[in-house]
Amino acid sequence: MIPVILSGGSGTRLWPLSRGLFPKQFLPLTSSRSMMQETLSRLDGVSDCQQPLVICNEEHRFIVAEQLRQQGVQGAGILLEPIGRNTAPAIAAAALHAMCDDGDPLLLVLAADHSIQDVTAFQASIKVAFQAAQDGALVTFGIVPTAPETGYGYIQKGDDRGGSGTFSVRRFVEKPDLSTARAYLADGDYLWNSGMFLFRASALIRELEKFAPEMLVACRRAVETATSDLDFIRLGKEAFSASPGDSIDYAVMEKTDKAVVVPLSAGWSDVGSWSALWDVSAKNAHGNVEKGDVTAVDSHNCYLHSSDGRLIATVGVDDLIVVDTDDAVLVAHKDKVQDVKKVVELLNHAGRSEAVHHRVVYRPWGCYDSIDSGERYQVKRITVKPGARLSVQMHHHRAEHWVVVSGTAKVLKGDQELLLAENQSVYIPVGVIHALENPGKIPLELIEVQSGAYLGEDDIVRFEDRYGRC
């Protein structure tokens, strides 16, 4: 059994913590580990589990690789989507890739950004689903509803399949209005659609041949034309882009007669909004979730998150979401959090960087924090991981001055090679080829002062890059 982790979401409803280049699946929202790392950790103890296959956006590949490394996961496959095409093409590509060596494994399809509180119940449901999947069924996991939720699709279960804990699927239904959701809850036969599945790779491919042949052709060509890049597998861009962009529910599950559902009651949430995160988080006696430096006076049922060390103080407020980051603050009523995505749409329309990335930007070699900027200058705090190296590059429009704060820097400056220790510095003029490397065993910290007529990140000409970037 191969876990297939879908990690393509953007998480716009959890802005400003979740950003386009660092979405919610990579954030530690429910524990000290990221949502993706929590997803991986839930597989510990599941029998017959091979290393996972993670499907993600190309722009997230180094974040995925680093979080897998932090989790101690070795040998995982990282399949890169050149463009988002929804869940059906992603899962189809994963199934085809899994069958490349004439294998036919079971695929346990999980989202990277779900929260499950009862891991034991979750693992027990996999055991229940296992035999049905072995026998050729396409098993989905339906969440036993605890409220008339209008933000989820539903699955109406049918007959009990011989007391095995699995049920036939009568139908899939779209997100209902409140009165319909209440009727579903009272009926007892309706489950939330979790978007988690277990099936044999060949069983999915056979159903795609019936119901989505054009998609299957495109995905098969994308896998056949895939290329390896470091630890990544890049799907063929032209072929994958030609695939229709449908969900796995619409492409297959709503049409197949092989669908089976396993009811799951395990404290599941897709953490699709700030109110959902409040629901699954530990609260104090006043119903508040308080993260970071928070002082709340006469305030109740709020989610208060300070992520940059600044104090958040509230007085006499109820049912509010207050999230403070280093470059943005969100204040929203808990009943209106679904509209946070509208904020992101407005920011994107205005070309604001706050929609895309945090002030701290992660790179395969480390990260940088843009701590100050003004006309013709910018100041960054740069951290380079031990053994890591930035690309050999040059800039047409800016000069750079590096001051080492801690660690050791190995610097290429034109035809010179320099070794800089703490409190030493170097100046890189405009147009000079240069590179920065950390040859030590501790992180290299330095301050970079850029000056020039144009300071955009696209003013980089790379001559050599160990991470395969252009």
Cβ atoms of 169 and 158 within 8 Å: the answer is: yes
Q: So what CATH class is 2-268?
A: alpha beta
Give CA separation, 347 vs 150, 321, 327, 343, 461, in Å. Answer: 27, 19, 13, 6, 29
What's the pLDDT tens digit per position in 259-294?
999 999 999 999 999 999 999 999 999 999 999 999
Cβ atoms of 160 and 154 within 8 Å: the answer is: no
Residue 103, C-beta contacts closer than 8 angstroms, at least 6 positions apart: 201
pLDDT the model gives residue 358? 92
Provide the 10 A C-beta neighbour count for residue 234: 20
pLDDT the model gives residue 308? 81
pLDDT the model gives residue 9? 81
Q: How far is CA 38 from the centre of its chain?
A: 12
Domain coordinates in residue numbering, the chain: 2-268, 274-348, 360-464
What's the pLDDT tens digit per position in 167-183?
999 999 999 999 999 99
Cβ atoms of 218 and 121 within 8 Å: the answer is: no
What's the CA gap between 326 and 28, in Å, rounded? Answer: 17
Would you tell me the crossing angle of helices 213-224 and 201-211 to the nearest 10 degrees? 130
Q: What are phi and psi of 14, to 5 degrees?
A: -110, 25
Give CA separation, 238 vs 3, 18, 222, 223, 243, in Å. Answer: 27, 29, 8, 11, 9
State the alpha helices, DSSP H only, in 149-291: 178-187, 201-211, 213-224, 237-241, 248, 274-280
Mean pLDDT over all residues of the chain?
A: 95
- % the chain with pLDDT above 70: 100
Cβ atoms of 115 and 269 within 8 Å: the answer is: yes
What's the CA gap between 445 and 385, in Å, rounded? Answer: 9
Q: Is 74 exposed, middle or buried (0-12, 13-18, 19+ CB in 10 A)?
A: exposed
For residue 251, give the nearest of 200, 209, 223, 220 by alpha carbon. 209
Cβ atoms of 362 and 434 within 8 Å: the answer is: no
Structure tokens at 253: 């599950």
Q: How confident is the model at residue 98 (pLDDT cuts 50, 70, 90)?
A: very high
H/E stretch holding 159 = strand 154-160
What's the pLDDT tens digit per position in 330-380?
999 999 999 999 999 999 999 999 999 999 988 999 999 999 999 999 999
- DSSP letter at 253 equals I
Q: Is residue 16 reached through a cis peptide bond, with omega within 30 degrees of 0 on the bond before it?
A: yes
Judged against a pLDDT cut of 70, whether residue 470 lies above it is answered with no
What's the pLDDT tens digit per position in 437-448?
999 999 999 999
CATH of 360-464, one of 2.160.10.10, 3.90.1330.10, 3.40.50.12780, 2.60.120.10: 2.60.120.10
Tokens 């509208």: give the residue: 342
For residue 113, give the nearest of 322, 280, 249 by alpha carbon. 280
Side-chain-side CA neighbours of 343 within 13 Å: the count stands at 22
